[in-house]
Structure 1
Amino acid sequence: MLNIGTDAPEFKCINQKGKTIQLSDFVGKKIVVLYFYPKDFTPGCTVQACSFRDEYEQFMEYGAEVIGISADSEESHKKFAGNYSLPFHLCSDPDGTIRKSYKVPVGFLSIFFSRITYIIGLDGKIAWAYKSNLAPASHVSEALKIVEELQLRNFQ
């Protein structure tokens, strides 16, 4: 995992709507909740994505954007987002370039990569990092606390 306080690596990806997004689109404008997950439609990933969906409005109120990244195709992300009404970006990283730049290790059976969530502050630095492969919903509750704290600091 990347260390807190380090510059978040720039990335560019295609989301489920076919739109190119990159980290620099958000730096200085929004806090970024960047979560890496193993695979669309798996039980844990569905729980995690739906938990982010359920709290998405709260993240938005705190000035944060949620971006999920896996190796799945844009088409898979489109179906996943459509089936579960996911309002945030899901980006495809088929060759693992983004995963590698964020030091997300390959996990279970060396097939899927690990479940890691980063929060990137307005300054483009890693403000928080969390890893838990077995408690997908905890990423959302923990991230929400940190985003709220960052938002409060930005207005003090």
Structure 2
Amino acid sequence: MKILLARRFVARLILPILLVCGLLLGPSAPAYALGGEQVPLGQAAPGFTLPTHVGDGDVSLADYLGQWVVLYFYPKDFTPGCTLEAQRFQRDLPEFMERNAQVIGVSADDVDSHAEFCDSEGLTFPLLADVDGAVSRAYGSWMRPMSMRHTYLIGPDGTMQERFLGVRPAIHSQEVLARLDELQQA
């Protein structure tokens, strides 16, 4: 009986967390295994408007037409991997700005959690509250009840230029910068 309960625990709780963290499926895993159907590169990125903790309260993708957008989805505020990833994006934010790129984070956490997370970590880029997961689903980055660790590079014309699935938080920001440089030089 105890073995059966342990297996259920792993299957229901631990396995989804490992999948979200990219520990079982590497970056080469099929898109359907990592949260859903992905928007093809070169096509329009799904539009959205979500609440944030800064400014007038809402951010839309359309607000950033004419500049690159680094749209990164992450599971949860204050968790180790998500904190490290956010810190790296904050560290590299001046480099993104030099490249006419805006960093935007998205998770299912609410606006109050995002405000506390930004205050705690000194984050100055917007974090968006996708509490029902609608935008995460539109980007193929949803594993109920949370967003998955995926990043999308959206071009100044609003088209999907690159995607990163199952990323490693410690080096991810630098990977995105390198790919952004390649795309801007093409």
TM-score, normalised with respect to structure 1 = 0.89
Residue aligning to 1:16: 53
**1:10-89 aligned within 5 A:** 10-17=47-54, 19-27=57-65, 29-89=66-126
Q: Post-superposition shift, 1:141?
A: 1.4
The 8 Å contact of residues 39 and 45 in structure 1, kept in 2 or not, is answered as yes
How far apart, in 2, do the equivalents of 1:145 and 1:78 lie? 29
Partner of residue 141, structure 1: 174
How large is the RMSD of aligned CA atoms in angstroms?
1.4
Cα deviation, residue 150, structure 1: 3.0
Deviation of 1:145 (Å): 0.9
Partner of 1:152: 185
Does 2:134 match 1:97? yes
Deviations 1:108-145 (A, max 9, x none): xx543310000000111110000125x12332111111
Shift of 1:66: 0.4
Amino acid at match of 1:148: D
Structure 2 stretches of 5 or more lacking a match?
A: 1-37
Q: How many corresponding residue pairs?
A: 148
- Paired residues of 1:30 and 1:64 also in contact (CA < 8 A): yes
CA distance in 1, matches of 2:44, 2:72: 16
Deviation at 1:92, TM superposition (A): 0.2
Contact 2:69 2:103 in 1 (8 A): yes
Contact 2:133–2:146, Cα closer than 8 Å, also in 1: no
Larger radius of gyration: 2
CA deviations over 1:35-60 (Å, ceiling 9, x no partner): 00000000000000000000000000
TM-score, normalised on structure 2? 0.75
**Structure 1 segments (4+ residues) deviating >4 Å:** none
Cα distance in 1 for residues equivalent to 2:39 and 2:51: 23
Percent identity for Structure 1 against Structure 2: 39
Partner secondary structure for residue 87 of structure 1: coil
The one-letter code matched in structure 1 to 2:62 is S
Letter in 1 for 2:87: C
Question: Deviations along 1:73-119, whole A, 9 cap, x unmatched?
Answer: 1000000001111111100000011001111131xxx5433100000
5+ long unaligned stretches in structure 1: none
Question: Aligned with 2:142: secondary structure?
Answer: coil
Q: 3-state SS of the aligned residue for 2:146?
A: coil
